[in-house]
Amino acid sequence: AIDPQFHENRDQVDEHEGHSVWGPVDEPEELGIHGTHVAVDFDLCIADGACLEDCPVDVFEWVETPGHPESEEKADPANEAQCIDCMLCVDVCPVDAIDVDAG
């Protein structure tokens, strides 16, 4: 499962479409965590798609990740600022790749 303390245990190494990327990153096999309020561990995501289907405010968008061992696309928290903290995505992800800081 995604480390809920990732913002303490990892370094912000990049930005992508306006959100942070938390390393380590070593493309294409290691992609890190995308997002902060809505964080998706790209190295765990298997492209199940439940988060895209269930998010009521369309926070997620697919991004292509060719060459990654788990899946060749990932759910990117492209619109994390729209999140209403419903926690549905956290509940439905089969590999617990998503952390939402509803603090």
Q: Which CB sits closer to ligand F3S, 23 or 49?
A: 49
When binding is defined by CB under 5 A, the residue of 2, 31, 34, 97 that contacts Zn ion is 34
DSSP three-state, residue 40: strand
Distance CA 25, CA 72 (A): 16
Out of ligand SF4, ligand F3S, Zn ion, none, which partner does residue 48 contact, by CB within 5 to 8 A per kind? ligand F3S
Out of ligand SF4, ligand F3S, Zn ion, none, which partner does residue 95 contact, by CB within 5 to 8 A per kind? ligand F3S
Q: Which CB sits closer to ligand F3S, 24 or 62?
A: 62
Q: CA Rg, the chain, in Å?
A: 12
Distance CA 33, CA 43 (A): 8
